[in-house]
A and B are shown apart, each in its own frame.
Chain A
Amino acid sequence: MNPPPLVRDLIRATSRQAVLWRKEDLLLYEYDALSALRQPEAVVFPTSTQEVVRVIRVAARHGLPVIPRGAGTGLSGGATVAQRGIVVGFSRMNKIVEIDLENQRARVQPGVVNLDLSAAVSDAGYYFAPDPSSQKACTVGGNVAENSGGPHTLAYGVTTNHVLGLEVVLPDGNVVHTGAKFWDRPGYDLTGLLVGSEGTLGIVTEITVRLSRLPEAVNTLVAIYDRVSDATQTVAAITARGITPAALEMMDGFTLRAVEAATHAGYPTDSAAVLLIEVEGLREAVEEQTETIEAVCREHSAREIRRAHSAEERALLWKGRKNAFGALGRIAPNYYVQDGVIPRTRLPEMLEYTAEVEKKYELRIGNIFHAGDGNLHPLIMFDARDPSQCERVGRAAKDLMVKCVEMGGSITGEHGVGVEKNELMPLLFSDDDLAMLRRIKEVFNPLGLLNPGKVLPTGKICGELRVQASVGA
Chain B
Amino acid sequence: MASSVQSAHMELAAWVGSDHLSDDPAVCRAAAVDGKAPALVVYPSTAEEVAGILRIAATAGLTVIPFRNRTQLDIGNPPERYDVGLSLKEMNNVWHYEPSDLTISVEPGMKLGDLQYLAAQDHLWLPLDPPGGVKASLGGTLATNATGPLGHGYGSPRDVVLGMKIATTEGKIIKTGGRVVKNVAGYDLAKLLIGSYGTLGVIVEANLKLYPLPRQRATYVLRAKSLGMARELRRCILATPLHFLRFLLVNPAGARWLRQGTPLAVESTKPEIWMEAGGSERVLERTQKSLEDLCREAGVSVETCGGAEAESVWNRASEFRHAVVEAQPGTVVVRASLPIAACEEFLSAAQQEAESAEFAALGSPGVGTVHAAISGYRDLGDAGSTIRRLRQSARSFGGALVVERCPVALKAPLDVWGDPGDDFDLMRKIKAAWDPQRTLAPGRMIGRI
A interface list, Cβ under 8 A from B = 100, 102-105, 125, 146-147, 149, 153, 157-158, 160-161, 170, 175-178, 180-193, 195-197, 201, 213, 215-216, 236, 239-240, 242-244, 281-285, 288, 341-345, 370, 373-375, 408-417, 421, 425, 428-430, 432-433, 436-437, 439-444, 455-456
Q: Given A189-B194, A239-B100, is A440 in contact with B341 using a C-beta cutoff of 8 Å? A: no
Q: A182: which B residues are within 8 A, CB to CB?
A: 337-340, 368, 398-400
CA distance A103 to B445 in the complex (A): 28
Query: Does B309 reach chain A (CB closer than 8 Å)?
Result: no
Neighbour of B235 across the interface among A102, A158, A197, CB < 8 A: A102
Closest 5 CB pairs of A and B: A192-B191, A242-B212, A216-B241, A413-B182, A410-B183
A-B Cβ contacts below 8 A, count: 251
**In the bound complex, do residue A190 and residue B426 qualify as a contact, i.e. CB atoms below 8 Å apart?**
yes
CB distance from B444 to the nearest CB of A (A): 12
Closest to B163 in A: A410
**In the bound complex, do residue B174 and residue A432 qualify as a contact, i.e. CB atoms below 8 Å apart?**
yes
CB distance from B245 to the nearest CB of A (A): 13
**In the bound complex, do residue B98 and residue A186 qualify as a contact, i.e. CB atoms below 8 Å apart?**
no
Query: Does B300 reach chain A (CB closer than 8 Å)?
Result: no
Query: Does B421 reach chain A (CB closer than 8 Å)?
Result: yes
Query: Does B357 reach chain A (CB closer than 8 Å)?
Result: no
CB distance from A404 to the nearest CB of B (A): 9
**In the bound complex, do residue B241 and residue A188 qualify as a contact, i.e. CB atoms below 8 Å apart?**
no
Q: Given A102-B341, A239-B100, A243-B212, is A440 in contact with B184 using a C-beta cutoff of 8 Å? A: no
CA distance A224 to B159 in the complex (A): 33
CA distance A175 to B421 in the complex (A): 12
Q: B418: which A residues are within 8 A, CB to CB?
A: 186
Q: Given A187-B446, A242-B215, is A281 in contact with B241 using a C-beta cutoff of 8 Å? A: yes
| Stretch in contact with the other chain, from B81-89, B257-265, B429-437 | B429-437
Q: Given A176-B426, A284-B282, A433-B175, is A185 in contact with B400 using a C-beta cutoff of 8 Å? A: yes
Q: B420: which A residues are within 8 A, CB to CB?
A: 186-187
Q: B283: which A residues are within 8 A, CB to CB?
A: 282, 284-285, 288
**In the bound complex, do residue A432 and residue B172 qualify as a contact, i.e. CB atoms below 8 Å apart?**
yes
CA distance A253 to B270 in the complex (A): 62
**In the bound complex, do residue B183 and residue A413 qualify as a contact, i.e. CB atoms below 8 Å apart?**
yes
Q: B178: which A residues are within 8 A, CB to CB?
A: 341, 408-410, 428
**In the bound complex, do residue B158 and residue A192 qualify as a contact, i.e. CB atoms below 8 Å apart?**
yes
**In the bound complex, do residue A184 and residue B145 qualify as a contact, i.e. CB atoms below 8 Å apart?**
yes
CA distance A371 to B235 in the complex (A): 36
Q: A285: which B residues are within 8 A, CB to CB?
A: 279-280, 283
CB distance from A42 to the nearest CB of B (A): 28
Q: Given A189-B195, A437-B189, is A343 in contact with B179 using a C-beta cutoff of 8 Å? A: yes
Q: B195: which A residues are within 8 A, CB to CB?
A: 184, 188-189
**In the bound complex, do residue A160 and residue B188 qualify as a contact, i.e. CB atoms below 8 Å apart?**
yes
Query: Does B381 reach chain A (CB closer than 8 Å)?
Result: no
**In the bound complex, do residue B427 and residue A180 qualify as a contact, i.e. CB atoms below 8 Å apart?**
no
CA distance A421 to B178 in the complex (A): 17
**In the bound complex, do residue A374 and residue B182 qualify as a contact, i.e. CB atoms below 8 Å apart?**
yes
CB distance from A279 to the nearest CB of B (A): 13
**In the bound complex, do residue A186 and residue B446 qualify as a contact, i.e. CB atoms below 8 Å apart?**
yes
